[in-house]
Amino acid sequence: MRTTTPRPIAESELAVVRMILERVPFKAIPRSTIEAVPELVVVGDCECGCACLDFAEPENFQAAGVPVAGGYGSTASGATVETLVFGTPDAILALRILPLGHDDGTLPRLDSIGVMLPGDAGQQRVAADGTCAPPLNTRSLAGLLDA
């Protein structure tokens, strides 16, 4: 991440952060935190050009940021990305959009953001022993959801 000139969060970034917080929180996020998203100030972005952002920390902030919400989404080109919001339930510190096996790190479409891999909703996988297994992403998120 590189430090940038502080700027207000863009409407498209705001919409993605808000959607992640509302649809795929790891723990309860107070409504006041979601309502404060339009006031976030971007202070860092990624050198590679992806949509990852760092936000200004609130005054006198002392806590360490951890993932507070996250899931998956699809970019306009159809590429799957992992979406994560870092901070605390009361303060948002970063947005991470992580490409999965490709170079498209743009913001996902709002309608695609969720806990399931895009196009995977409701599908059962068959494990090597012939039993049904939960969708892959359910297992990958399980540890975070229980934390």
Residue 56 lies in a domain: yes
Of 70, 137, 140, 73, nearest to 105 by C-alpha is 73
Give, for all 147 residues of the chain, the pLDDT tens digit: 899 999 999 999 999 999 999 999 999 999 999 999 999 999 999 988 889 999 999 888 877 789 999 999 999 999 999 999 999 999 999 999 999 888 888 999 999 999 876 665 444 333 344 333 333 333 344 444 444
State how far the alpha carbon of 145 is from the alpha carbons of 54, 83, 132, 139, in Å. 23, 14, 21, 10
Residue 72 lies in a domain: yes
Q: Strand pairing partners for 66? A: 87
Name the residue type at position 81.
Answer: V
For residue 93, what is the enclosing H or E element?
Answer: strand 91-99
How far does Cα 55 stand from its chain's mean position? Answer: 14
Residue 102 lies in a domain: yes
Structural domain that includes position 63? 2-116
The pLDDT assigned to 141 comes to: 41
